[in-house]
Amino acid sequence: MTKTGFVVANLFRKKTRTILTVLSVIMAFLLFGLLQSLNSVFNSGADFVGATRLMTQARVSFTQALPLSMVPKLEAVPGVARVAYSQWFGGVWQENTQIFTFAVDPQRYHDAYAEWVMPEEQWQAFEQTRTSMVAGKMLADKYGWKIGQKIPLSSNIYPQKGGSKSWAFDLVGIYDGKDDNWRKQTNAVFINHDYFDEANLFGKGRTNFYILKLAPGTDAAQVSKTVDAMFENSPDETKTQTEKDFNLSFVKQIGDIGLIVRWILFAVFFTLLLVVGNTMAQSVRERVPELAVLKTLGFTDGSVLGFVLAEAVALCLVGGVVGLVLATLLGAMVEQATGGQFRLQVDGVIWAIGIGAILVMSFAVGLLPALRARSLKIVDALAGR
């Protein structure tokens, strides 16, 4: 037998209690791993887009469309190399499948996004066909769409002039991403803005966002200020931000994910602290005479403190590591199941924070019982006082 063996044997004194406690630790760290990675997804999911483009929307909300008459003014801003625009269409495929659909000017969009890879003849077809549509490769693969196919979509936002919500588009191209990151984003379709603009019942000559492609070496912050200043006190005040910030603000409309995650984790760990702390305290209370015998045999106060702390660390470490491993596996499974779109990655940083949390929790739950064990007086403990 070793001292480690002794600690393990003590842990399994009450098997059911230990297993239930470890399960609660596993659940807590599984949640911790998944929620932290979810937080990372929301905070850094658009890291790869870089800072070569700015997004301009209406200052109040992107749902408020801006006039296309802004295009020449935006093009005149120093540092802006190309202006593209994009209109949210709100497409629905078949019964109720939401499709990210944007109405864009094909040529401008092509110029602004070199990251979307598609044969040049397909770009031309996109521009030259009034009812054209191009689809992301992931989406086309998912639904088995082929070039030349008529794709019926309906829009709950924009009916056609006749009042019908049904639209039909000709699939003229399938675009892919230039690298792995971009390939995982090929889940949207683009339709020709000219056709949309002519055929929709509401508003004409408007768009939700402008995309400003910057010339190399341009100060993005300066361009952003210039654009917003240009439309200040006009009926169409703007808000211009980097593409990454734009994506993040889009996500954060459902709430401050980081704050939500922190509050959930706080509740989980606070409960866990009570559960494991109670287990440890009870475990020490039950074996006061045994701890006194250890001291009688010659184990020092420090050794006895060490035994109890080691039990707390073992309990939290086993549960915590298993929980993090499960979170890592589940995250990988989610990523695989969503074709890499939802990258729920429990990375090294989350593991490091998790191990830190395990150690802090071990001491938080183990220290008081350990100090109690340390301060036991042998004669009192043996006499049951």
Partner 1 sequence: MSEAIVSLRNVDKRYTRGKQSVEVLQGLTLDIPKGEFVALMGPSGSGKTTLLNLIGGLDQPTSGQISVGGSRIDQLSSGKLAHWRAHNVGFVFQFYNLMPVLTAEANVELPLLLTRLPASQRKKNVAVALQVVGLSDRARHKPRELSGGQEQRVAIARALVSDPQLLVCDEPTGDLDRKTADEILGLLQVLNREHGKTIVMVTHDPKAAEFARRTLHLEKGELLEQVAA
Q: 226, 180, 192, 202: which is closest to 54 by C-alpha?
A: 226
Interactions with partner 1, residue window 76-135 (CB under 8 A): none
How far apart, in whole angstroms, are the C-alpha atoms of residue 161 and residue 32? 51
Asked if 39 and 258 touch (Cβ cutoff 8 Å), the reply is yes
Residue 44 Cβ vs partner 1, minimum distance, rounded to whole Å: 48
Q: Find all residues with CB under 8 Å of 11, minimum gap 6, and list them.
A: 18, 311, 314, 315
Judging by beta carbons within 10 Å of its beta carbon (0-12, 13-18, 19+), is residue 383 exposed, middle or buried? exposed
Q: Name the phi and psi angles at 209, rounded to 5.
A: -135, 150
Contact letters (x/-) for partner 1, 2-41, by CB under 8 A?
xx-xx--xx-xx----------------------------
Residue 334 Cβ vs partner 1, minimum distance, rounded to whole Å: 41
Residue 281 Cβ vs partner 1, minimum distance, rounded to whole Å: 18
How far apart, in whole angstroms, are the C-alpha atoms of residue 176 and residue 135? 9
DSSP 253: G
DSSP 133: E
How far apart, in whole angstroms, are the C-alpha atoms of residue 220 and residue 226? 10
Kind and range of the H or E element at 88?
strand 80-88
Residue 282 Cβ vs partner 1, minimum distance, rounded to whole Å: 15
- Choice between 293 and 371, CB closer to partner 1: 293
- Choice between 146 and 385, CB closer to partner 1: 385
DSSP 121: H
Residue 380 Cβ vs partner 1, minimum distance, rounded to whole Å: 10
Residue 50 Cβ vs partner 1, minimum distance, rounded to whole Å: 60
Interactions with partner 1, residue window 301-340 (CB under 8 A): 301-302
- Choice between 69 and 282, CB closer to partner 1: 282
Contacts with partner 1 by CB under 8 A: the residue count is 24
Residue 15 Cβ vs partner 1, minimum distance, rounded to whole Å: 11
Interactions with partner 1, residue window 267-306 (CB under 8 A): 289-290, 293-302
- Choice between 282 and 300, CB closer to partner 1: 300
- Choice between 1 and 254, CB closer to partner 1: 1
- Choice between 254 and 297, CB closer to partner 1: 297
How far apart, in whole angstroms, are the C-alpha atoms of residue 124 and residue 276? 65
- Quickly count helices (H) and strands (E) in the chain: 15, 13
Question: Under the criterion CB under 8 A, does residue 368 sit at the interface with partner 1?
Answer: no
Binding site for partner 1 (CB under 8 A): 1-3, 5-6, 9-10, 12-13, 289-290, 293-302, 378-379, 382
